Amino acid sequence: MAFFKRVPSDGQKGKVSYNSGIVSGIVNLAVTEVEGVEMLAGKKKGLKLYFEKDGIYADISVKVDYGYNVPEVAFKIQQTVKHNVEAMTKYKVAKVDVYVVGVDFLGEHAAELN
């Protein structure tokens, strides 16, 4: 388990420490906010985070529900993850890569199309 520290630069005493699991939870929550997408679970992890000096790098693997525009969904995931992580932790997000590994033909939206 890794801990990441952020020391305020405005002269305040004290520090804020973030467990990598906290950032993972924020990313998971951000992906669930996007309609028509589901993050992979189980043996194939749907999320990999890399903490570098220039920011956080995220690799996110998802399935998209049938009928949704894949590039639009991927872009919404990138925007939401970047916004949520930067707003909640003050870390910078350097890059969010979204890997669409499948299409879910049995989702709620697919039933509306029939």
CATH of the domain at 31: 3.30.70.1350
- Cα separation, 70 vs 59, in Å, equals 16
- Look at residues 69, 29, 70, 72 and name the one whose alpha carbon lies nearest to residue 47: 29
Q: What is the pLDDT of residues 28-82, one digit of tens each?
A: 999 999 999 998 875 557 899 999 999 999 999 999 999 999 999 999 999 999 9
- Contact call for residues 55 and 94 (beta carbons, < 8 A): yes
- Cα separation, 32 vs 114, in Å, equals 25
49 is in which domain, residue-wise?
Answer: 20-106
95 falls within a domain: yes
2 falls within a domain: no
Query: What's the pTM value of the predicted model, to 2 decimals?
Result: 0.78
- Cα separation, 97 vs 25, in Å, equals 17
Between 75 and 7, the more confident residue is 75
10 falls within a domain: no
How many domains does the chain divide into?
1
In degrees, rounded to 5, the angle at the alpha carbon of residue 29 between the alpha carbons of residues 5 and 47 is 70
- In a 10 Å sphere around its CB, with 0-12 CB exposed, 13-18 middle and 19+ buried, how is residue 50 labelled? exposed
What pairs with residue 39 in β-bridges? 62
